[in-house]
Amino acid sequence: MSLEISAETSFALDLTNVAQYGPELITNGEFADDSSWVIGADWAFNTDHMEYDAGGTTAITQSSIEMTSAMENSISYRLEFDISNGGGAADIAFYTVNGSAIYVSRTTYANGHHVIDFTSPAGTTAAGGGIGVYGHAGGGAFHLDNVSLKKQL
């Protein structure tokens, strides 16, 4: 079979299956066990998810050493996660591991799947390049699962 190209020939390029995101950066985001995460007060591992009991403003964190690759300064990322048993009031913020730079400001999330696109701050690398999920007591208890973080290409 041959293809003849002329001035009148046109092509349609289908980009629907082109990868828009890099590989998964979070290790054990489905919480198959409690490895890869540092679990703060008011958080507990329960079979296949993390539970926050709304006792205070505390975090679960994953350092850049535990991640498949460290986060970088001023890069666009996609964060996905599931909230359940939250009564519609899971009050969460996403920070660097040491809490010095904010990825996603404090927001209240309903039960369900959430997708957030954000750009990491300039201080991400200096702050360790990991991620912290901070629960805030004002929102009540909830379950967290299926945490995913990918670099946007």
* pLDDT surpasses 60 at 1: no
Res 14: pLDDT = 64
Residue numbers of the domain that contains 44 = 21-152
**DSSP track, 94-111:** EE-TTSSSEEEEEEEE-S
Residue 44 falls inside a structural domain: yes
Contact in structure between 139 and 90 (CB atoms under 8 Å): yes
Average pLDDT for 60-76: 92
The DSSP code for 135 is E
* Tokens (6 digits) for 142: 């909830």
The single-letter DSSP state of residue 112 is E
Please, which pLDDT band fits residue 135 given cuts at 50, 70 and 90?
very high
What is the SS3 assignment for 10? coil
CATH number for the domain spanning 130: value is 2.60.120.260
Which pLDDT value is given to residue 6? 62
The verdict on residue 3 lying in a domain is: no
Q: Is the per-residue pLDDT at 19 higher than 70?
A: no
Segment 85-105 mean pLDDT: 88
Is 112 a member of any domain?
A: yes
With 0.95 as the threshold, say if the pTM is over it: no
Instruction: Examine residue 14 and state whether it is found in any structural domain, yes or no.
Output: no
* Number of independent structural domains in the chain: 1
